[in-house]
Chain A
Amino acid sequence: MAFDAEAVIRTAHLARISLPAAEVAAVAEQLERIMEMVEALRNVPTEGVGSMAHPLDLEQPLRPDIAQNSDRREALMQNAPAARDGLFLVPKVIE
């Protein structure tokens, strides 16, 4: 079984999602079912098959190294839940 309670708690921590203890068992069961479906891939022969990350075989385009963005700090920060003097406010990190 891939997803026991401990795996769910570990993964939720990696994903920075706080899962209430009361939900862990139900989430584990759902994730386990999804992973059971995914496990079928193990039986597909893929020796020597290349991996495909993207549909188009395009080169990453480059543009001249010239600044194109105007200063829109104020507009871009308007969605911040807490901001002051052009900075995002968060709880104190260093005592």
Chain B
Amino acid sequence: MDLSEASLRELRDALRSRRVSARELARFYLDRVAAHNPALNAFITITEAEALAAATAADGRLAAGEEGALLGIPMAHKDIFCTEGVRTTCASRMLEQFIAPYNATVVERLRAAGMVMLGKLNMDEFAMGSSNETSHFGAVRNPWDLQRVPGGSSGGSAAAVAARLVPAATGTDTGGSIRQPAALCGVTGIKPTYGRVSRYGMIAFASSLDQGGPLAKTAEDCALLLEAMAGHDPRDATSHPEAAGTFAATLDAPLKGLRVGVPEEFFGAGLDPEVAAAVEAGIRILAAQGAVIKPIHLSNNAHAVSTYYVLAPAEASSNLARFDGVRYTYRAAGVEDLTDLYQRSRYEGFGAEVRRRILIGTYVLSAGYYDAYYLKAQQVRSLIREDFRQAFAEVDVIVGPTTPTAAFALGDKAQDPVAMYLADIYTIAVNLAGIPAMSIPCGFTAGGLPIGMQLMGNYFTDGLLLNVAHRFQQETDWHRQRPALASAKG
């Protein structure tokens, strides 16, 4: 059995039948991390000693007869989830030395399920970016081409799964930050319905948009992970009372009669022809399984990026006000007075993109501009949600590309914020509405770069999306392709 290709079910079976121990499995993946992370930079922190201790504890639970779907299986967290005793940096200089005094609910739940954390994954600073280039710890490399970006902001998560450094990872998605890197790295990822996964202990970027979710090799693996991650949490005021769900049991439901909407607006100018062709071929595979394909419209999608770049920075400027040089580790040296302390700590502690977004957010919320920008954007957000409401009266799922192009070159858009923002043109509307969506591999460019297909569903139809994705993955093997890594070790 190739442990790096095994599904979570296969790993569980191997652990249960003692063909492999949790400790051996942790060792196997830690060795892969040691061999390949130097080239990829997917991890910010590797927690080898803690991982081996957790694996030993999992072996004890297995020996005691405990049966959990995830017990003893290695994983890694995006470095936005607070981990007690292990630093949580959010890929920022501001939090380079921050040790959270508590665990995020997601961390707590996956730990209780017996998963073994191998470390903390690289990301764009404070999750603000679509290429992972804004990380204080350097860019993550795309395992399919080391000169290209992995996407962002959960770029470390997507790259680590693609390179088989972990069988599973967590990510967060505020405007596409799970789906876009999943697409660019050829892995499967789901942004659940807003309110499914607790935001407690997940460092806030834009609170009305942020949602945590899993990235893994397959939809089946994502279903098992999401079952463990989702659930009502009284410590998060936006956690939904019906947040919990079972997703694995319905993966095999047939697609006959499924109404699939294809939004015309997602196939216009700006979409790379190779991406379009791969997604169109993917839609034909759904049709061949009995799905009924219908053209639909999401006419306000054109305004999604503009709306997002008012609302997300506004929320971020407020959320990041707490990083003031007084409470969270970083403080500028040699300050004159308290105002100087705030201002210089925030200038030095935040990178250029984070500062840019704080300034935009501060501006749109400032006196005299609130109605023109913030209120207006909230109204357009209503229109975007209404587009989805109308679409879901006619169809069960919406399918389109996840990204306009495959992975772009490192440095390509780094100097042009607006060009970077447009990389999320197909993913942002989903966050504004709060509906679930996922990205699954659906092909490759002629140059050998993965292409992602996006599935979007109505509120709380996460299980249906995973079902459609799983059936698609029974008919295709795009998700089984893996990058050839330079060092063959491990």
Contacts and interface: CB of A to CB of B under 8 A. Distances in A.
B344 A37 contact: no
Nearest to A50: B382
Interface string A63-95: 100000000100110111110000010111100
Interface residues of B, number: 69
B418 interface: yes
Contact of B327 (A3, A16, A56, A88): A88
A73 to B, nearest CB: 10
A49 B433 contact: no
Contact of A76 (B101, B234, B360): B101
Contact of B331 (A12, A15, A33, A82): A82
A72 B97 CA distance: 19
Contacts of B408: none
Given A44-B383, A80-B326, A31 B306 contact: no
A49 B379 contact: yes
Decide if the interface of chain A is mainly helix, strand, loop or mixed: loop
Contact of A31 (B335, B344, B356, B379): B356
A22 interface: no
A41 B307 contact: yes
Given A17-B343, A17-B346, A79 B380 contact: no
A61 B243 CA distance: 15
A39 B376 CA distance: 10
Interface in B347-403: 347, 350, 355-356, 358-360, 362-364, 366, 372-373, 375-383, 385
B326 A90 contact: yes
Interface string A24-44: 000100110111011111101
A52 B378 contact: yes
Contacts, number: 167
A14 interface: yes
Nearest to B337: A91
Contact of A55 (B101, B194, B325, B344): B194
A56 B379 contact: no
Contact of B306 (A37, A51, A60, A63): A37
A40 B306 contact: yes
A58 B339 CA distance: 38
B383 A51 contact: no
A72 B101 CA distance: 9
Contacts of A78: 99, 101
B392 to A, nearest CB: 14
B380 A44 contact: yes
B303 A41 contact: yes
A79 B303 contact: no
B444 interface: no
A38 B358 contact: no
Contact of B208 (A53, A63, A90): A53
Interface in B309-357: 309-310, 317, 321, 324-331, 335-344, 346-347, 350, 355-356
Contact of B98 (A3, A7, A44, A79): A79
Contact of B347 (A19, A52, A60): A19
Contact of B379 (A13, A51, A75, A79): A51
Nearest to A89: B326
Given A11-B366, A38-B373, A18 B326 contact: no
A88 B300 CA distance: 48
B42 interface: no
B173 to A, nearest CB: 13
Q: Which of A8, A13, A55, A63 has the most CB of B within 10 A?
A: A55
Interface of A: 2-3, 7-8, 11-20, 27, 30-31, 33-35, 37-42, 44, 46, 49-56, 58, 60-61, 63, 72, 75-76, 78-82, 88, 90-93
Given A34-B356, A46-B376, A54-B208, 10 more contacts: A11-B363, A17-B355, A19-B355, A31-B363, A52-B379, A55-B385, A61-B234, A81-B330, A91-B341, A93-B338
Interface of B: 97-99, 101, 194-195, 208, 234, 237-238, 240, 300, 303, 305-307, 309-310, 317, 321, 324-331, 335-344, 346-347, 350, 355-356, 358-360, 362-364, 366, 372-373, 375-383, 385, 417-418, 421, 432-435
Closest 9 CB pairs of A and B: A55-B434, A51-B378, A18-B343, A81-B331, A46-B379, A15-B362, A52-B382, A52-B381, A16-B342
